[in-house]
């Protein structure tokens, strides 16, 4: 759990070694975003917004959350999907490596977690 004086927690996740076809599969990516939102009890305020790049390109998706946002960018030419989840309310850690290996056939997943605003907690507060 996050102390109340923090502005939130951010997960920065890279899924590497993914087959290009998975990174171009909008149905797969939509299901993955829905899984993240559901399993973390997040609340989407609008349906996910997707932009699919033409040709052999990947896609970008954004879910605007009551708790902040979830974004993903895929790079089929590199075999990489990058995720950013920012939550202003406490959330448990999520099994990123397991879920991204299942959904995207990722060979390796790195997860960085940042607590936001903790170095400024209390400064400038009323």
Residues noted as catalytic: 68, 73, 88
**Strand 49-52 and strand 8-16: pairing?**
unpaired
d(CA 121, CA 84): 23
* Residue where the block lists tokens 């030419």: 77
For residue 107, CA distances in Å to 24, 80, 85, 90, 113 come to: 17, 10, 21, 29, 20
3-state secondary structure 19-45: CHHHHCCHHHHHHHHHHHHHHCCCCEC
The phi, psi pair for 108, rounded to 5°, reads: -150, 140
């Amino acid at each position: 759990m996050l102390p109340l004086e923090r502005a939130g927690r951010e997960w920065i996740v890279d899924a590497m070694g993914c087959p290009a076809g998975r990174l171009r599969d909008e149905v797969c990516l939509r299901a993955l975003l829905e899984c993240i939102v559901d399993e973390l009890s997040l609340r989407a305020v609008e349906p996910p917004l997707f932009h699919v790049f033409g040709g052999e390109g990947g896609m970008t998706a954004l879910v605007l959350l009551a708790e902040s946002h979830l974004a993903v960018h895929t790079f089929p030419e590199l075999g990489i999907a990058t995720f950013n989840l920012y939550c202003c309310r406490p959330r448990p850690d999520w099994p990123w490596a397991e879920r991204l290996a299942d959904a995207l056939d990722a060979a390796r997943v790195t997860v960085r977690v940042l607590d936001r605003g903790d170095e400024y907690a209390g400064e400038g507060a009323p």
